[in-house]
Amino acid sequence: VIIYISFIDSDIINDSLSANILGGVGVLSLIVAIMGVCPLYSLADINTLCQKQKDK
Amino acid sequence: MKLRTQILFSILGITFFAQAVFGFLAYRQITESRGDQLTIFLQYLNREIAERLMMPGNVTISKIYLEELRKKFSTPKSTLLVQKGSRILYVASDIEIDIEKLTKHFNEAYLDSDKLCLIDVNGVEYYWAIAKLPDEKYTLVMLEPAANEEIMIASALRFRLITSGVVILWVAVWVSLLLSSKISKQLDAKNDELEHLALHDTLTGLPNRALLTERLEQALLQAERSSQPFSLFLMDLDRFKEVNDTLGHQFGDELLKMVSSRILNCMRKIDSIARLGGDEFAVLLPQTDYKGTVYCAERILRSMDEPFSINNVSTESKVSIGIAIYPDHGTTADALMQYADVAMYQAKRSQSGYAFYDPLQNTHTLRRLQLMNDLREAVEQNKIKVYYQPLVDNSTQKVVCVEALARWHHYELGDITPDEFIPMAEQMGLIRLLTFQVLTQSLSDLSGWKVKGHDLGVNVNLSTYCLQDMRLPAEIESIISNYSIDASQIEFEITESALMHDVSRARKIIDQLNY
Question: What distance in Å separates the CA atoms of residue B234 and residue B354, rounded to the nearest whole number?
Answer: 10
Q: CB B167 to CB A22 under 8 A? A: yes
A residues 17-56 lying closer than 8 A (beta carbon) to B: 17-19, 21-22, 25, 40, 43-46
A1 contacts chain B (CB < 8 A): no
DSSP B422-441: HHHHHHHT-HHHHHHHHHHH
Percent of chain B with pLDDT over 70: 83
pLDDT at B499 over 50: no
Q: Contacts by B402-406 with C-beta closer than 8 Å and gap 24+?
A: B402/B442, B402/B456, B402/B457, B402/B458, B402/B459, B403/B458, B403/B459, B403/B493, B404/B438, B404/B439, B404/B441, B404/B442, B404/B458, B404/B459, B404/B460, B404/B461, B406/B434, B406/B438, B406/B461
Q: CB B156 to CB A13 under 8 A? A: no
pLDDT digits (tens, 9 = 90+) for B34-71: 666 666 766 676 667 666 656 665 556 677 777 777 77
Q: Which range is least confidently modeled, B1-15, B146-160, B301-315?
A: B146-160
B263 and B204 Cβ atoms separated by less than 8 Å: no
Q: Which range is least confidently modeled, B202-216, B389-403, B478-492, B499-513?
A: B499-513
Q: Which candidate, B114, B158, B121, places its Cα nearest to that of B24? A: B158
Out of A22, A44, A46, the one facing B163 most closely (by C-beta) is A22
pLDDT digits (tens, 9 = 90+) for B431-464: 888 988 898 998 888 888 888 888 888 888 888 7
Model pLDDT, residue B90: 78
Model pLDDT, residue B264: 92
pLDDT at B258 over 90: yes
CA distances from B316 to B31, B110, B138 (A): 91, 97, 110
pLDDT digits (tens, 9 = 90+) for B298-338: 999 999 988 888 888 888 888 999 999 998 888 899 889 98
Out of B159, B163, B174, the one facing A40 most closely (by C-beta) is B174
Q: What is the pTM of this model?
A: 0.48
The answer, yes or no, to whether ipTM is higher than 0.90 is no
pLDDT at B250 over 50: yes
B178 contacts chain A (CB < 8 A): yes
pLDDT digits (tens, 9 = 90+) for B270-304: 999 999 988 899 999 999 989 999 999 999 999 99
What is the pLDDT confidence band of residue B149, given thresholds at 50, 70 and 90?
A: low
What is the pLDDT confidence band of residue B110, given thresholds at 50, 70 and 90?
A: low
